[in-house]
Amino acid sequence: MNKIIDLRSDTVTKPSPGMRQAMAEAEVGDDVFNDDPTVKRLEEMVAKLLGKEAAMYVPSGTMSNQVALYTATERGDEVLCEAGCHIFNYEVAAPAVISGLLLRPIDGHKGILSAAHIEKYIRPAGMHLPKTRMIALENTHNRAGGTIYPIETIAEIEQVGRAYKLWMHLDGARLWNAHVASGVPLAKYASYFDSVSVCLSKGMGAPIGSVLSGTKEYIERARRTRKMFGGGMRQVGILAAAGIYAIENNLKGLAADHKNARRLAERLATMPGLTIDLETVQTNIVLVDIDPKVMTVDVFIQNLAEKGVLCVAFGPARVRFTTHLDVSAADCEVAVAAVEELLAARQS
Ligand code: TLP
């Protein structure tokens, strides 16, 4: 069997030999006692990159978002978010179950909300009403195809948020991609938010780990929340070392992933039966709509997998391809050829 080209997610990357070596050599201590020098180094590094006072290492993007929400809200509060966002769709209703929050999903344009649109959803104070407490944005926006929030739009949304004293949270699981694609500094993006979560386990290529950042006071409280959620870890420098290695070595490489995604999208968009909104292909994600008369998503995924190319369902007639550091430009060419072959066989 040829090499499997796994385009299901940028979470599927395997630690490189260099990363494994950094992990093996990491200095460690008990992080719950605040004793792990490698974790501290990673936290300081990310806080500095994001221009925040403090940061905290957490096992996953989901825990990072959920710790962020819990720490900034009270039960019964309302969080405004885009309807396709990860926090609303893919975190197993955690905001409701864990924090007693009401999430208010608002339809955006290709995942992007405007300040004027959000403002309409902010509730006045009232005996009968939940308190609108937070605006949570996602950049890049996964379900919209990796779209990037324009920085001016974020600034306008923040102004509205501040006017109503709302907490600004950013799910920046792929903020690295937004930064590399747009050239906007990470700290500039982060400057509009009270809490920012970034993931190291996606395009950055670490096997695990996210980092939540904010003020020193907020992160101190978030440490208690993380412990309560069962996320206090011990000699975890061994994993944090992978995160440091990722930031030092893999950040720039995201540009190649974006180029590969663009090429993949442009090639697939020419194929009959497939539709791609090329405008949304701004980073490393390609959403492909399949004409159900040509093939169902299940058949597409299964037949493509038999040719050694993996993608995931992302809607009843939609699949997602995600590029990352373990797939090359040549691998993407192979993937294109496999899809071409599959469609040709179907139409002949
Ligand atoms: N996204 C995963 C799936 O859960 C969909 C993926 O394959 O893309 N925020 C965003 C924007 C994400 O895309 C993800 C993961 C998370 C948070 C959660 O991160 P983890 O998986 O580390 O809990």
Contact in structure between 118 and 108 (CB atoms under 8 Å): no
Taking the centre of ligand 1 as the mean of its atom positions, its distance from the CA of residue 171, in whole angstroms, is 10
Same domain, 230 and 282: no
Output the pLDDT for position 346: 78
Same domain, 158 and 240: yes
User: What pLDDT tens digit does each residue of the chain (348 aa) get?
Assistant: 578 999 999 999 999 999 999 999 999 999 999 999 999 999 999 999 999 999 999 999 999 999 999 999 999 999 999 999 999 999 999 999 999 999 999 999 999 999 999 999 999 999 999 999 999 999 999 999 999 999 999 999 999 999 999 999 999 999 999 999 999 999 999 999 999 999 999 999 999 999 999 999 999 999 999 999 999 999 999 999 999 999 999 999 999 999 999 999 999 999 999 999 999 999 999 999 999 999 999 999 999 999 999 999 999 999 999 999 999 999 999 999 999 999 998 776
Taking the centre of ligand 1 as the mean of its atom positions, its distance from the CA of residue 129, in whole angstroms, is 31
Half-sphere exposure of 320 (CA within 13 A, CB side): 18
Long-range contacts from 301-305, C-beta under 8 angstroms, 24+ separation: 303/342, 304/338, 304/339, 304/342
Q: Whole-angstrom Cα distance, residue 180 to residue 50?
A: 14
- Number of C-beta neighbours around residue 47 at 10 A: 21
Task: Find the farthest-apart pair of alpha carbons in the chain and give their distance in angstroms, rounded.
Answer: 65
Pocket test for ligand 1, best of 64, 81, 85, 142 (most atoms within 8 A of CB): 142
CA 233 from chain centre, in angstroms, equals 22
Output the pLDDT for position 2: 74
Same domain, 167 and 29: yes
Length of the chain: 348
Q: Which amino acid, residue 10? A: D
Kindly report the CATH number assigned to the domain that includes residue 326. 3.90.1150.10
Q: Whole-angstrom Cα distance, residue 64 to residue 342?
A: 40
Same domain, 246 and 282: no
What pLDDT digit, counting tens, does each position of 197-222 carry? 999 999 999 999 999 999 999 999 99
Same domain, 208 and 271: no
For the CA of 60, the closest atom of ligand 1 is 22
What pTM value is reported for the model? 0.98
Question: Could you tell me the CA-to-CA distances from 4 to 174, 254, 306 in Å, in that order?
Answer: 24, 21, 10
DSSP secondary structure code for residue 141 in this structure:
B
Same domain, 196 and 314: no
Overall domain count for the chain? 2
Strand ranges, E, within 17-172: 54-58, 77-82, 102-106, 131-138, 167-172
Structure tokens at 128: 């009968």
Contact in structure between 222 and 56 (CB atoms under 8 Å): yes
Question: Could you tell me the CA-to-CA distances from 123 to 77, 96, 170, 314 in Å, in that order?
Answer: 11, 19, 21, 32
Structure tokens at 270: 């020419």
Structural domain range at position 215: 17-250
End of a domain among 231, 250, 269?
A: 250
Instruction: Find, among 85, 110, 55, 70, the residue nearest to 244 by Cα.
Output: 55
Place of tokens 């992302």: 314
Taking the centre of ligand 1 as the mean of its atom positions, its distance from the CA of residue 40, in whole angstroms, is 24
Instruction: Find, among 177, 178, 144, the residue nearest to 287 by Cα.
Output: 144
Residues in contact with ligand 1 by the CB-under-6-Å rule are 9, 11, 60-62, 86, 90, 138, 142, 171, 173, 199, 201, 210
End of a domain among 207, 229, 250?
A: 250
Output the pLDDT for position 104: 98
Same domain, 293 and 188: no
End of a domain among 235, 250, 265?
A: 250
Same domain, 245 and 303: no
Same domain, 206 and 241: yes
